[in-house]
Amino acid sequence: MLGYIFKRLVYIIIAMYLIISATFFLMQLAPGSPFASERELPAAIEEQLNAKYGLDNPWYVQYKDYLVSTMTFDFGESMKYKGRSTNDIIAESFPISVALGLQAMILAIGLGVLLGIISALYHNKLPDYVSTVIAILGISVPSFILAGLLQYYLSFKAGWFPVSGWKGFTYTILPSLAIALGHAGSIAKLTRSSMLEQSNSDYVKLARAKGLGKWTTVFKHTLRNALLPVVTYLGPLLAGVITGSFVIEQIFAIPGLGRHFVTSITNRDYTVIMGTTVFFAIILLFAVLIVDILYSVIDPRIKLKGAKK
Amino acid sequence: MAQNDPNLEKISPDMFKVVGGRFNETEQLSQKQVSFWKEVFYRFSQNKLALIGLVILFIIMGMAIVVPFVSQYSYDQNVGLYNTAPSAAHWFGTDDLARDMFVRVWEGARISLFIGLTAAAIDLVIGVLWGCIAGLSGGRVDNIMMRIADVLTAVPYLLVVIILLVVMEQGLIPLIIALSITGWVGMARIVRSEVLSIKNQEYVLASRTLGANKWHLIKRHLIPNAMGAIIVTMTLTIPSAIFTESFLSYLGLGVQAPMASWGTMASEGFKALTSAPWRLIFPAVFISLTIFAFNAVGDGLRDALDPKLRK
Amino acid sequence: MKKKVLEVKNLRINFKTYAGVVQAVRGVNFELYEGETLAIVGESGSGKSVTSNALMKLIPQPPGIYADGQILFNGKDIIPLSEKEMMRVRGNDIAMIFQDPMTALNPTMRIGLQITEVILKHKKVSTRDEAKQRAIQLLDQVGIPYPEKRFRAYPHELSGGMRQRVVIAIALAADPKLLIADEPTTALDVTIQAQILELMKEIQKKSNTSIIFITHDLGVVANIADRVAVMYAGQIVEYGTVNDIFYNPKHPYTWGLLGSMPDLDNDADELLRAIPGSPPNLISPPKGDAFASRNEFALAIDFEKEPPMFKVSDTHYAKTWLLHPDAPKIPLPESVARRIEGYQKEANNNGQ
């Protein structure tokens, strides 16, 4: 197990290096500078600003400086909001995104698995059709469109939920629902086909041959095996929730990290872009690693590549 | 147990002549012999959802081709009416620049579909080439190529796409490039696994026949078997591309005005949600329908091509 | 007088499919006594698995239909039983052993728990500990070494033979009177096969269990069966003791089966007699004798009327027009006759 973790960490470091470097060079290639979009600055001042941020150094010097500072997790100051350190921005807004993200994930998994199980157990009967339709809606309607529609009909017109902001539990419902529904649909489909597949296997037949009832068989035998593939979806789920947050936080005016990321892109705020990118990438890479380990723990048959059991 | 029935009706003696079996009959397969693709087609047509999806696709593509030609308005023409609700003259209403929404939606259909299909096609080409080369070469080349694919999968897709777009300036081509940049990995993996499984069979045959038959085997076996998986993957890549495109357009990274994809139209529609909801609803509905239709058809194809016949 | 454990009368089972109604089992009759082993032999599609699944009412009710007949277990017909009542029978009175031990066990559940599950469900003991003790006893009985340790093992940690022993232990857990073994040795190596068969015979001797053994392998039949039912196209075409079937087969299909068995004592030059053709479509079963078109000894009447069961002796019946008093006397095909000679010689040598 330890050997496996070590190998994965090496991969993570390589991937991080590639991402960091790629981000840097892309920023270099990008037209425009953070100062260009503002009103015309006198040349002298612009020179000073460039010097302060080291933007007038040759690229390899900037690259070296960048790598060094990244290693020490020093993402510098925001170029747009002078005086605000990138790390502060991240520290402030990330917890909010975490809350939103976790809620969305729990919703997605809970709803998705439930719909999938119902679909499978009432195969080809009414509950199956209803669940399948809901799942399809979730998959087909992009989350931001869903968010807009929810906002319009349930907040603006019906007044059941607050329209935007992040000031209490009721503020979290619509945003997390908007993010979760799309993934709930995918999870429902996955759960459904997995349950159907397991229901046809020999050990389920044997369970019935033992005299176990239909529901006992499902909960004690089928379910555990059917949910295994769902665990592998957790990685993409997290990635999807993060990207979902970019737009949903904008629509619902939630001060999370996703929104800052998007704004920093529009503003060409390089330091914040790079800091946030690195941050997100680390989270995602570690999340996938954790999911893989989790999967091997849950399924006694799995031996991780390069691990000794 | 039934036994000799004394009441057995008298049977004429020549019924007891030995006539032997009718072996020709039994060799005929009891079911009509159908070609592989016909069977696939049959199974596909049993899937109601897939059929609905197919019909929707035909309608949408048909409208996308026809409407901009036939319509009396062009997509950037000022018709004098600003932000009007759907009416007899303008079936989908008009927007804030007094443009007819109906023709704009179908013009947008062209663009969104073009983006989706092209991105998927690029993924197809790169993916198939990559997978074939990796699978056929084997050994270190295969190893390296798949490692690269692994690393690319690890990298968060959307981050890369967004940053690329920021760098490349917006526009149709950069958008398509950004969309296809990591999507080909899935296709490559599938193609490679098909190649590997065919390769193993091929060696067995090759040891008995002359080596010259290798290309023949590739044509006869690899293409039909892999074709199924390739088609399914492509069909499922397209809605993902359309989804991502609309997402990016919302972030302001999509195509430039006055060209409008469904995504940009939805994005603009958002701003007028309270006053002119139809500007969001129509593009939104068609985005969702198209994504659903491609998914349904893709799933239907996948089930139809599945050799494990269920039922 | 031995007790009759099972009597099947005129069982008919159909399946509704998209292509039509498949008549999988078409009027099957047999009996089974205490402590006896009945082997059901046939090729794929003969209906043997459907019959065995039907005995425990494990056929999914759509698309399966119990079209006719009775299944009398200890005198009581179980077909009209409700699902709840059936649950008390399954595992408890009648138990099943499946073909593939790899897939028959739940891969994510420890094998000990898979055994205690049966014990606790049918309330054979009152505490979990007692169930565990009994499970360990069973594991020992089926020949698994270090049973206390193995109790906590997962199926993939055991070899194929071990897994099948666990499946047998599960079947025995609630002390059933009838064991249905559906090709339990097909997926195993030959040496393991022999061990499993020995195990089953041992168990039968100890607990006087009746066994229905489904197989396509006549060698296994010779080893373990008291009586044999040969099935073809959903019907039993020959039925008798194991001696009846091997030394005095009367149905051309049985001849075919005996003749197509590879035999070490065979002359290497002798051609293996395969039965040409394939089984008929059971959506529209042919008129007359279903085996007729593959039967080189078919009579004209075989294509017109279905033959009744003719009695050969008190224990031996065969469903073929060749046994009609007016039918020509067809001698055994040479290869079959030679086989039988070989068996008899071997039996004499073994002092049977």
In this complex, which of B154, B156, B273 lies closest to A11 when CB atoms are compared?
B154
Among A199, A210, A216, A228, the strongest candidate for a mutation testing the C interface, having the largest count of C CBs within 10 A, is A210
**DSSP notation for A241-268:** HHHHHHHHHHHTT--SHHHHHHHHHHTT
Give me the CATH number covering residue B271.
Answer: 1.10.3720.10
Task: Answer whether residue B85 is part of any domain.
Answer: no
Say which DSSP state C239 is in: E
| Cα–Cα distance, A77 to A81 (Å, whole number) | 8
Summary mean pLDDT of chain A: 81
CB-CB under 8 Å, A284 with B250: no
Do the domain assignments include residue B32? no
For residue A224, what is the nearest residue in chain C, using CA coordinates?
C108
- With CB atoms and an 8 Å threshold, state whether C95 touches A224: no
Q: C211: helix, coil or strand?
A: strand
Which domain does B243 fall in, by range?
52-71+93-309
Q: Taking an 8 Å Cβ-Cβ cutoff, which residues of chain C contact chain B?
A: 17-19, 29, 239, 276-278, 280-281, 292-305, 308-311, 317, 321, 324, 326-328, 330
C96, C108, C10, C34: which is closest to C59 by C-alpha? C96
Asked if the Cβ–Cβ distance from C167 to A206 is below 8 Å, we say yes
Rounded Cα distance, C223 and C102, in Å: 25
For residue B49, list chain A residues with Cβ-Cβ distance below 8 A.
132, 136
Residues A247, B163: C-beta atoms closer than 8 Å: no
Closest-CA residue of chain B to C295: B21
Q: B248 and B165 in contact (C-beta within 8 Å)?
A: yes
Chains touching chain C, criterion 3+ CB pairs below 8 Å = A, B
Structure tokens at A298: 């849950």
The DSSP output letter for B211 is: G
- Mean pLDDT throughout C5-20? 88
- Facing residue for A152 by CB, picked from B158, B277, B288: B277
Ordered per-residue pLDDT tens for chain B, 311 residues = 444 454 556 667 677 777 777 766 555 554 555 666 777 787 788 788 888 999 999 999 998 888 888 877 777 777 777 778 888 877 888 888 878 888 888 888 988 899 889 988 998 888 888 888 887 777 888 888 887 887 777 666 766 777 677 666 667 777 888 788 777 888 888 888 877 777 776 655 665 565 545 556 556 666 666 777 788 888 888 888 888 888 888 777 777 777 788 888 888 888 887 788 888 888 889 999 999 999 888 888 887 876 554 33
The alpha carbon of residue B30 is apart from the nearest alpha carbon of chain C, in Å, by 6
Say if strands C76-77 and C64-73 run parallel, antiparallel, or are unpaired: antiparallel
Q: How far apart, in whole angstroms, are the C-alpha atoms of residue B107 and residue C120?
A: 68
Report pLDDT digits (tens) over A158-194: 888 887 888 888 888 888 999 999 899 999 988 998 8
Tell me the C-alpha to C-alpha distance, in Å, between residue A210 and each of C114, C179, C296: 10, 12, 45
Q: What's the whole-number mean pLDDT along residues C1-9?
A: 86
CB contact under 8 Å between A202 and C98, yes or no, is yes
Distance CA B98, CA B80 (A): 6
Q: B93 versus C182: which is more confidently predicted?
A: C182
Contact partners of B by the rule of 3+ C-beta pairs under 8 A? A, C
Q: What is the DSSP annotation of A112-157?
A: HHHHHHHHHHTTTSHHHHHHHHHHHHHHHS-HHHHHHHHIIIIIII
Crossing angle, helix B139-154 and helix B184-208, to 10 degrees?
Answer: 160
Give me the residue from B1, B13, B14 closest to C309, CB to CB: B1
Q: Is there a contact between C311 and B4 if contact means CB atoms under 8 Å apart?
A: yes
Mean pLDDT of C35-58: 89
CA A199 to CA C306: how far, in whole Å?
Answer: 39
B contacts of C18 (beta carbons < 8 Å): 311
Quote the CA–CA distance of C304 and C281 in Å, as a whole number.
17
> How many other β-carbons are positioned within 10 Å of the β-carbon of residue A216?
16
Compare all CA atoms of chain A with the CA of C154 and give the residue at the minimum distance. Answer: A300
A262 vs B239, B243, B251: nearest CB: B251
Question: Helix, strand or coil for residue C147?
Answer: helix
Residue C29 has pLDDT above 70, yes or no: yes
Question: How close is the nearest chain B Cα to the Cα of A141, in Å?
Answer: 5
- pLDDT, tens digit, 9 for 90 and up, residues C93-149: 999 998 888 889 998 899 999 999 999 888 778 888 888 999 999 999 898 999 999
d(CA C167, CA C176): 14
What number is the average pLDDT over the span A101-115? 92
Q: Where are the domains of chain A?
A: 2-71, 90-298
Residue B16 lies in a domain: no
**pLDDT (0 to 100) of residue A309:** 36
Task: Please give the CATH topology (third level) of the domain spanning A90-298.
Answer: MetI-like fold (1.10.3720)
Separation between Cα atoms, residue B188 and residue B243, nearest integer Å = 21
| Dihedral, CA of residue C163, residue C168, residue C172 and residue C177, to nearest 10 | 160
User: Which pLDDT tens digit goes with each residue over C279-304?
Assistant: 787 888 888 888 888 888 888 888 88
- Integer Cα distance of A207 and A220 in angstroms: 9
| Residue in chain A lying closest to C53 (CA) | A209
pLDDT, one tens digit per residue, over C226-236 is 999 999 999 99
